[in-house]
Structure 1
Amino acid sequence: METVQLDAEQFAPRDREEAIRSIIWDNVVRVEIQQQPDPEHIRVGARIADLGMLTICSVRSNATTIERTSALAADPTDAYLFVGLQLSGSSMVVQGDREAVLGPGDLAVYDTRRPYTLVNEGGIHQHYFRVPIGALALPGRALESVTAVRLDGRRPLARATAGYLGNLAGSVADLSTAEAAQATAPTIGLVRTLLTAQLLESPLHREHLDDSLETRVLDFIRVHLADHDLSARRIAAAHHISVRQLYRLLGRSGIVLGDWVRERRLERCRDELADPTSRRTVTEVAHAWGFPDPSQFGRAFKRAYAMTPREWRQVSRAHSAD
């Protein structure tokens, strides 16, 4: 687990604004930050913990406005949902045609694929949780309908979620690497549960959940291709359907789940073996993408691409050198 500490007072006043921007851009998300006009008065303290698919950013600062502009939101590589947990004071989240004013214990979400603004006139005191969009297994239109909505921290599920997220963020510095890895999946699952409950309260929102289920399933599989425990049961549970429904859903498009997963994993292996910057051995590449048996991987690769993994690596890299 990687952790980055940010203390604005470590930098000379003239360097603070750019140093803060650079650290946030590199470790959290690319946004424009409007801070105190006098650099001497900039006060920002943050801890950023990278737990793999989950990033936790705990921040305390003086008055700040944060903007994800249209130009920044157009970058397809930044596809995240942020969950903000207000700890004290108040803040406002603006996205689309909605705005949510948060008090202590309240939550709100916003999507980096669309512009948003975070207004913190009294300063920031929040935990932010960054989750890849694909890991949530929720359709885009559904997410769009819950962004910039105040999730009242006094309601049971939101209160329980806020309590768990706050405790996790508060203890993240004490977690071992193994504990951090184990915490990621249930945390994302809890966020998904909270958002799904919010969606189910409205018939219109419920329709969004039924849209594009096959697309969401396939996106979920792509995100988790490297997971050795990826199974039909896990995929079905993530989408609140039975294994039988999963197979029936994919079967309508002629997709055989096991074959489709194997083909996508082979594609990832093929791409990495062709990459001249990769230093992993063939066996390491295979294991990283869900093939624990090197012999089985070699046979599957040759059936798919008519050459062994080592032959493919040699041919593709020689061609790249030319």
Structure 2
Amino acid sequence: MIQIVDSRTIAAGMRAESMHAVAARIIPVELDFPEPGPVVRGRLADLGGLRISSIRSNVTKVERTPILARDDLAPSLMLGLQVSGSSLVVQDGREAVVRPGDLVVYSSTSPYTLVDSEGYRQHQFRMPLERLAPPRDVVRQVTATRLSPGHPVADLAAGYFRHLADRPGAFADAGADAVSQSSMELIRAVISTHLDVTSAATKASLEATLQLRILEYVRAHLGDPSLNAARIAAEHHISRRQLYNVLAAGGISLGDWIRNQRLEGCRDDLGSGLSQRVTIASVAQRWGFRDPSSFGRLFRAEYGLSPRQWRQTATKAQPALASDPTPARL
């Protein structure tokens, strides 16, 4: 289920109360808004046990007070992904400044504070600690800490969770429970590798998320025409045969998946209206297609229109698309 949140649709006198109610659906907290009051836009989504909030707001302070930390909410972990600007996260005697692309965790079971003078700009993922099942005392070691910035697992996790927040409906189509479980395994792997925990649980988490991590690596390098199976396997310290077996277990053919992802990227760019400023060949090259002619044939075979026809059709539809209240990316 996806819920769109837009404070502009609410009468000014009722916005503060309504936005506190929205926040309570994520996690009960106190909010500080500057005058003249709340400006909030974004979406909430549930995928199995994972609750996603993708919100841009002028709220300058989010506080889980000591009283709220003792409420009836099932003990939960929040993973924050900073979208833009910087935020200060304070919990358990630590504080961390997080910047775009940084991951940070905070727990519902103790007070925490998020501060950003420019307004709240995070994707947040809330999951029950019971399902995440981290080793004892691990959570308190990582709250209000930037999670291994620059670490390969953390970097791939940041890309995955950004993609998940941007398109929750697409992931829901693949099975909400499966996506939820894979996401929790990935969070467990990020936390474990950050703490350099060597255990059977860590190894199991890394193995369980191998396919997901491979696909996120590929997604992040789609624009590189030299991307190939040997390089992908080497990056994940596995053989090419194991690479193909891991993907085949999920019904994925590597070559087909890369081609389809690149075509989708080209289709989205050509339909955005921004591509009017660049040539179709430039868009194709941006997504890893070296030969414009073969790209054109592949595009027509997949979508039934040439790239030029698709761009013209999408451009004509721009006014209708602009009226859609759903924020495509925050």
TM-score, normalized by length of structure 2? 0.58
How far apart, in 1, do the equivalents of 2:183 and 2:21 lie?
A: 27
- Listed one character per residue, the Cα deviations across residues 210-261 of structure 1 (whole Å, up to 9, x for unaligned) are 9xx9xxxxxxxxxxxxxxxxxxxxxx94699xxxxxxxxxxxxxxxxxxxxx
How far apart, in 2, do the equivalents of 1:152 and 1:198 lie?
A: 5
Shift of 1:76: 4.5
Q: How does 1:71-220 map to 2 (within 5 A)?
A: 71-176=67-172, 178-200=174-196
Q: Tell me the equivalent position of 1:10.
A: 9
Shift of 1:134: 1.1
Q: Which one of the candidate residues 18, 35, 38 is aligned to 1:37?
A: 35
Q: Tell me the equivalent position of 1:232.
A: none
How far apart, in 1, do the equivalents of 2:180 and 2:160 lie?
A: 12
Shift of 1:121: 1.2
Q: Tell me the equivalent position of 1:19.
A: 18
Counterpart secondary structure, 1:85: strand
Counterpart secondary structure, 1:99: strand
Counterpart secondary structure, 1:81: strand
What is the percentage of aligned positions where both structures have the same residue?
Answer: 38
How far apart, in 2, do the equivalents of 1:62 and 1:77 lie?
A: 26
Counterpart secondary structure, 1:134: helix
Return 5+ residue gaps in structure 1 as ranges.
Answer: 214-235, 241-322
TM-score, normalized by length of structure 1? 0.60
Are the aligned partners of 2:47 and 2:172 in contact in 1 as well (CA < 8 Å)? no
Are the aligned partners of 1:137 and 1:238 in contact in 2 as well (CA < 8 Å)? no
Are the aligned partners of 1:85 and 1:105 in contact in 2 as well (CA < 8 Å)? yes
Are the aligned partners of 1:84 and 1:128 in contact in 2 as well (CA < 8 Å)? yes
Q: What residue identity is the alignment partner of 1:104?
A: P
Are the aligned partners of 2:147 and 2:190 in contact in 1 as well (CA < 8 Å)? no
Q: Tell me the equivalent position of 1:47.
A: 43
How far apart, in 1, do the equivalents of 2:176 and 2:36 lie?
A: 38
Shift of 1:57: 0.5
- RMSD over aligned CA atoms reads 2.3
Are the aligned partners of 1:60 and 1:125 in contact in 2 as well (CA < 8 Å)? yes
